[in-house]
Every structure is written in C-alpha cells, then in structure tokens.
Amino acid sequence: MTEKLVTLKLEGDLESNGFHVLLEIGEDGSRPDIEAIGSLPPNPALLQQLHKWQDSYRLLDTPSRIQPVEITYVGSLHTVETCQQEAINLGNQLKTWLLSDPFTPIDQPLREELSPTDTVRLVIRTTNPHLQHLPWHLWDVIDRYPQIEIALGTPTLKRLEDRPVRHSTVKILAILGDSNGIDVAADRQLLEAIPGADVTFLVEPQRQRITEQLWEQPWDLLFFAGHGRTEAGAGKIFINPQESLTLEELKYGLREAVRQGLQLAIFNACDGLGLANALAPLGLPQMILMREPIPDRVAQTFLKYFLDAYVTGESLYLSARQARERLQGLEDRFPCASWLPIIFQVNPVLPKRWSQLITVPETTTAQRPILRPQVGGLPIKSLLAISAVVTASVGILRWTGILQRSELAAYDQLMRQQPAQMVDQRVLLVEATKEDVNTYGYPLPDQVLAQAIDQLSPHQPRVIGLDIFRPEVAPSTTLGQRFQENNVVALCRFGLAGGGNQEGIAPPPQLPATQVGFSNVVIDPDGILRRQLLFAQPDTNSLCSSHTSLAMLIALHYLDAMGIQLETIDEQHLRLGAANLTPVETHSGGYQGLDARGFQILLRYGRGQVADRITLSQLLAGEAALENLDNHAVLIGMSDPNSNPTDYFLTPIGAGQWPQETIPGIDFHAQTIQHLVAAALDEQRLLKPPPLWVDWLWIAGWSLIGCGLTFKRRGWLIWLLSLGMATLALYGISWWLFLVGLWVPLVPSAMALGGGSGGAIAKALIHQPDPVPVE
C-alpha cells in the first residue's frame, strides 16, 4: 500500500473565465512525480445550482445544533424533498462539468496513476469560495478509490518544521462555547471517554482565559463546539452568551500554539470555512470543519464516528472519510449530512496518527516486571477505589449511547430465551391470506368486510378490531352501518418524520373517538420493533386525531366489559386492572437519548403462536368454529406480504433467525392486546427497566464482585474459572429477572465485572515488589 498526495490547484471563477488547473501527484512527503495542466470551462449554471441548493438547505426547519426529535420531524416534507432534489441536480451538474474535454489532461493521469489500494490525500487548493462549497466527494474518482479523501487548501501551502512529540498523553484543549440551545454535554462526554487523552475543558470561557491556555502549555488538538458563523468571508465563534470573536482576535495565542506543536483543530460548529481562512496564515497543519449550518445530532454523530476511527489507529483522512460517509444514515432526517464535514490542509506534511501524538518511553528487558504465577492480593481500600473508577467509566460509556447497540442485542437474546407461551384463548385473529386476496381482490371490498362482521356478530364478541384502513367508508354504506351497529374499533394513522404522507390516513368518518385507534409504531434505529406506543399526541394538521393505539383501545373495550377501566395514578403512572403501566423514559435500561414522547412501554413478545387464528375464507364459508366468542377480542387484518409489505415488522424473536423473520401488523397488535389483557387479569408482569439509581447500584455491585475475585492471591487458572462462573451467574440472574419483568443492565454489568477484576490484577502486577522469575 502506497501513501500518495494529489493536489489540484484551481485559479479562476465559475461565472465567466473558468479555471486554470494544475495537477501534482507524488509520494506523500516527497516532491511530485507527475504534473499536468488542464482547465475547466466557465459554468454559470453550476454556480446557480449551487446557490439553489444552499437556499433550499438553509430553508430546512432544522435549527443548527439543536437537539432534533425522532417521531415528528420539524421540517416540512416539501422543503426536505426540495433540498434532496436540488442536491441531486447539483451533483449531476458537477459530474458533467468534470467530464469536460479541457479537464481530460487532469482526469486521465489520476485514473492511470492511482491504485485502489493506495491511500491518497486529494487536496483542492483554491481561494474561490464557490469551489470550496461544491460536493467534491460526489466525483466518481472518489467512489472508485476507497482509500482517498478530499480536503481543501490554500493555493500556497506553508511547510513547517515537524515538532517532536513531548507528551505521554494527547493534550486536548476543548472550548465549549455558548450553550444556548446546544447539547455540548454530548461533545464533552465523547471527549472524556477518549483513552490516552488529557482534556482541558473551557466552558463558555472569557476571551482572556482562552488566550492564557494557548500560551501556557503545548497542545496537540484544539476542539470547539458551539455556534459559528461566516460573515463576509470572516469566521467567528460564539464563546459565551455575551461574546463572539474572530480567530484574528486570537491570532497571537494560536500562532504560539502552532509553534509549540498544535497539530489539529476541530470546529464542530456551523459554517466554518471562514475560520479556516483565518487560521491558514498561522500554519496550523490540519483542520476539520463544517461547510454549512449543521444540526446538533449530525455534529455529535460525526464526532463520535471520527474519534472511534482515529483513536483506534486509522489515519486522519480515512477517519474523516469513514465518519463522513456514515452520516448518510441520518440523511432521511437531515438531508446532505454527509456533505458537511471537510478537512482543510495548510501544511503538506503527512498528518500524524493518534499513536504518533504520544511519546512512548522505552523500557529494557531488565526493567520489565516478570509476572508471578499468582495474582491479586490488594487491600480493600484499593479494590473499592478501582470499583468506583470502573463503575463511573462504564456508566459514562453507557450514558453516551456507545453501549446501546450491544445492550439491545442482549435484550433480544433474553427475549428469545423465554419459555414458550400457551395460546391465548381470549384473542382471535381473522387473517386475509394471500389466497384470500387472490379470491376477493386487493384492497378487500367493503362488502366482504361487512360479511365478515355479520358472521362474527351473532356470536357477540366483546370487541372487533379492524386492522385495515377504511378512510372513505360513508356511514350510509353497508360497512359503515356495521361500524355503527357493532362494537367495532377502526384504524387511522398520523404522519411520522420522513414518511411519505405527513398528514396520515383518516379513520372512517363520523366514528366516535372511542372507536378509532392509531396504528403508528416506534421502531428502533436497527429496524427492530421493541416498544409499543400506547398513547400519543398527533399534530393538529393530522387527518388522524386519535390519542390511543388500536391495540390499547381493543384491550380497553375488552376489559370494560368486565368492569375494568383505566385509572390515572399520576402523570407517569396508569393502572389497568392488576397492571401498573409505566412509560419508558429518555434514559431507560439500555436506551440512551431515547425520544420517549407519548406513552411507550416495552413489549414482551411470546414465542410461537400467541392467539387462535382463522382465515377470512374460512370465516365467510362458515367453516370456522366460533363458539364462546363472547369471551374474545377479534382482530381482522392482512397477513399477505405482497399486498402491504410495509406492514411487516422485525421483532427481537425474528431478529435471531436466519434469515430474519418478520411478522405482520395484525400479529404485532395481537401480541400487544394479549400482553395488556394478561397483565390486567392474570397479573402477568409487564417488562420494564429499574430506576436509574438501581441500574447504577447493579453495575457497581458487579464491579465489586469482579474486584472481590482478586481479594486473595490465587493462581491464574483459579482466577479465570472464578471469573467465568461469575459471568455465568450474572447472565442467569439477569435472565431470571427478565422473566419476572425486570430488564437489568447485562452488558454494562459484564464490562464492570471484567473491568473490576482486570483492573485489580493490573494494579497488583504494577505494584508488586521485586519481580522474580517464574520457576
């Protein structure tokens, strides 16, 4: 693998003259081997399209650096779609421009001289502000070579002497600016969790405090999180609620920091190209900044992805590319998120990797401690201190959301290991299968659904739920009359963020609120449906105004026939028969930063068939046994995946299969009905996480157990066996608590157990007296 530096120097303008282009290709750190000259023609249409995209992007109702919501997107569908379309148009025009004949002398050597295995820094050197805002990463050269990343730079690069590393840790000066409407705490948590870093935080500081820190000690990395803005080509940062300043006003302090070895500045703020232009004359080697206004969620996510890659050994440029491309996962809510981060290069020297920012002292063989055959034996005071440090470290990692994916995977595993449940005799499913759709057509005719209700009505089910949308059924039609004559609960849906119809789907007209439930669900980022939304507050412009989910409403009708009604204990607790309903919160169990609006509960999925079921054809043909329906809730819905593939969901049970198995919406609603009715009547425990303070005690307890395994000196094999038995005990206890309805932290506790035990052993080995050879 070869590391190469490619520079493109462009001089000119888009409007009338076009650009003169100089290409240089060479080994990184050496003089260029290849030079070529070409040009790009003027392209006023490209400039106009750039302005159109920028206008549409800045019209999005996503305020910069403000925590976004998950369920209801604050931007309008029209502006999001407009921005996405303008982005496509801009990308197409840019690609066409780069295929211009005068640019062939530049494009052809690039493709011939670079190899897909080469690690390449491609620097666009220009002072033209329009070129600096173009999405160069859409150039097909970037897609062709996976180890290449784009950077911006000034036409004149300033090569400075490479300062020797003098720190045993990476020294980071982190300025957390004006926090009005900004979640800078998330940025701080990510920085605090970096291994091998010494971070000094300046929170909403005064200007003098920043200057003092820049002069008083050498720094490796400068970080800023807060509001930023570029006005008339000059960038400014808002350091506290009263002050903003340009980098020109920190010129002398920043120049001193660069002289003492500052390697990198990260500006996790909006509109940062003006900051780069101010820092360039000072010779700071590398900067990472955002080219446009950036939402808070995008800024934090980029920082997390970048640090994950850079701290673990990836190069600066490939870390930035990986983090930038991973932002594409947010672009359904934040269009063009992957367009925003960019590296700005001033010094052409090869950027340092994370490990190169640290001085590693040499040790001779004679100085290295020789391990004894036994480990442990620390005093209780030391073990308690180690346990406290491990508990705090795991808790911080958990709070930042780094452990969420693994905790949810453990949750799914515990769900799959539940004992199989008996078929619930209180819920009957009438499913329209593929064969039924072939027989009756799709959508199912109103007359067919009316006949189905007629077949059920003589047997007097407590409630009939219709999991099929019928927004245009007039009360005067046969089906509309059946709605009026029977205890039928119909369906509607309100619009969600990024959905195709933000107004939703209306219920059948003239039905009272007690006969209409919404179908909306809340799906986790990994695509798995773990929670049930019982109550919600739709938007005022939504066609669906129901506050209660379909499943919850059916359960309430069923229980009402037995004199059981929903009671309000307080704002956060409801009682339904023997069941106490408690909603999940922003930090609940393994969820961190959850959008917990509405009233959501964890849903305990049953393994196997959870309810009796018949097909629509069997019902209409009179082939189904319908005795004792007076003790049943009946749910009519579709199970044909070809008719409505979006109504199929991945559950913790199906996620453990290969290939993964999904369930239709009718089965999901049946699971929820069964879950609520069993909790209300049979005192079946609802699944919920314990309070946060219990979580912390639980993690701390397992950390203490891990430390306790090393209280007495013992052999390595005994210690490993003890640690293995403790891990099995942790899993067994967690599984049993899960069965009785309590979701305790499994992954953080396992980390605390291993971390406490490993930390105690490491401390014992470091401090053991006069190491001797093992015989």
pLDDT at 529 over 90: yes
pTM of the complete model:
0.51
Question: Can you give the pLDDT at residue 48?
Answer: 93
Residue with tokens 């650009």: 19
Write the single-letter amino acid at 85: Q
At residue 401, does pLDDT exceed 80?
A: yes
Fold type of domain 170-357: Rossmann fold (3.40.50)
Taking 50 as the threshold, does the pLDDT of residue 451 lie above it?
Answer: yes
Q: Give residue for tokens 């809730």.
A: 633
Largest CA distance in the chain: 95
Of the listed ranges 282-291, 335-344, 716-725, 760-769, the one predicted with least confidence? 760-769
The larger pLDDT score, comparing residue 540 to residue 432, is at 432
Reported confidence tier of residue 536, pLDDT bands at 50, 70, 90: very high
Q: Are strands 488-492 and 463-467 parallel, antiparallel or unpaired?
A: parallel
Both tokens of 35, joined, read 């030079």
CA trace torsion 715, 717, 722, 728 (10° rounding)? 170
* Unique residue bearing structure tokens 């593939």: 645
For residues 557-573, give the mean pLDDT. Answer: 90
Query: Rounded to an integer, what distance in angstroms lies between the CA atom of residue 626 and that of residue 461?
Result: 10
Banded pLDDT at 497 (limits 50, 70, 90): low
For residue 722, the model assigns a pLDDT of 85
| pLDDT band per the 50, 70, 90 thresholds, residue 371 | very low
pLDDT above 90 (res 365): no
Quote the CA–CA distance of 706 and 701 in Å, as a whole number.
9
**For residues 439-465, average pLDDT:** 92
Helix H or strand E encompassing 224: strand 221-225
- Does pLDDT of 423 surpass 80? no
Return the pLDDT at 70.
36
Q: What string of H, E and C letters represents the secondary structure of 18-81?
A: EEEEEEEEEECCCCCCEEEEEEECCCHHHHHHHHHHHHHHHCCCCCCCCCCCCCCCCCCHHHHH
pLDDT at site 444: 92
* pLDDT at 14 exceeding the cut of 60: yes
Across all residues in the chain, what is the average pLDDT?
A: 85
Give the model confidence (pLDDT) of 109-133 as tens digits. 888 888 888 888 989 999 898 998 9
**Secondary structure element (H or E) that encloses residue 454, with its range:** helix 446-456
Are the C-beta atoms of 764 and 743 separated by less than 8 Å?
no
Question: Is it the case that residue 177 has pLDDT exceeding 50?
Answer: yes
Q: What percent of the chain is modeled with pLDDT above 90?
A: 43
Domain boundaries in the chain?
Answer: 3-153, 170-357, 382-403+689-767
Res 771: pLDDT? 41
Which pLDDT belongs to residue 160? 60
Cα torsion 722, 724, 725, 728 to 10°: value is 160
pLDDT at 361: 53
Confidence of residue 247 (pLDDT cuts 50, 70, 90): confident
Residue 769 has a pLDDT of 44
Give how far the C-alpha of residue 406 lies from the chain's centroid of Cα atoms, to the nearest Å: 13
Average pLDDT score over residue span 466-479: 89
Beta bridge partners of 652: none
The pLDDT of residue 101 is above 90:
yes
Residue 297 confidence class, pLDDT cut points 50, 70, 90: confident
The Cβ of residue 269 has, within 10 Å, a number of other Cβ atoms equal to 26
Q: What is the per-residue pLDDT for 714?
A: 65
Name the pLDDT band for 698 (thresholds 50, 70, 90).
Answer: very high
pLDDT at residue 157, rounded to an integer: 64
CB of 286 within 8 A of CB of 262? no
Handedness of CA 302, 305, 306, 311 (dihedral sign): positive
Instruction: Find the distance separating the first CA and the last CA of the chain, reported in whole Å.
Output: 45
Q: What is the pLDDT of residue 372?
A: 44
Print burial letters for 119-129: b (CB count within 10 Å at least 16), e (below 16): bbbbbbbbebe
Predicted confidence (pLDDT) at residue 317 exceeds the cutoff of 60: yes
Nearest CA to 548 out of 560, 540, 536 is that of 536
What pLDDT shows up at residue 318?
A: 92
pLDDT at 773: 40
Tell me, what's the pLDDT at 367? Answer: 45
pLDDT for res 368: 43
The CA distance from 693 to 753, in Å, is 18
Least confident of 177-186, 218-227, 425-434, 565-574: 177-186
Q: Please choose, from the candidates 308, 313, 272, 304, the residue with its C-alpha nearest in 3D space to the C-alpha of residue 289.
A: 272
CA dist 450 → 454, 469, 644, 658, 749 (Å) = 6, 14, 21, 39, 55
Averaged over 224-231, what is the pLDDT?
83
Return all residues near 732 (Cβ < 8 A) that are at least 6 apart. Answer: none
Q: Which residues lie below 8 Å from residue 455, measured CB to CB, with a gap of 6+?
A: 619, 620, 622, 626
Residue 358 and residue 352 in contact, taking contact as beta carbons nearer than 8 Å: no
What are the angstrom distances between the C-alpha of 549 and each of 66, 516, 537, 676?
30, 8, 11, 12
Would the pLDDT of 770 be above 50? Answer: no
Please tell me the distance from the alpha carbon of residue 669 to that of residue 671, in angstroms, as a whole number: 5
Is 140's pLDDT higher than 70? Answer: yes
pLDDT digits (tens, 9 = 90+) for 381-391: 888 888 899 99
d(CA 672, CA 501): 26
In the prediction, which pLDDT does 94 show? 92
pLDDT value at position 376?
53
pLDDT in the model for residue 72: 35
- What is residue 381's predicted lDDT score, i.e. its pLDDT? 82
- The pLDDT value recorded for residue 403 is 93
Residue type at position 429: L
In angstroms, rounded to a whole number, what is the distance separating the alpha carbons of residues 739 and 323? Answer: 39
Angle between helices 665-682 and 550-560 (to 10 degrees): 40
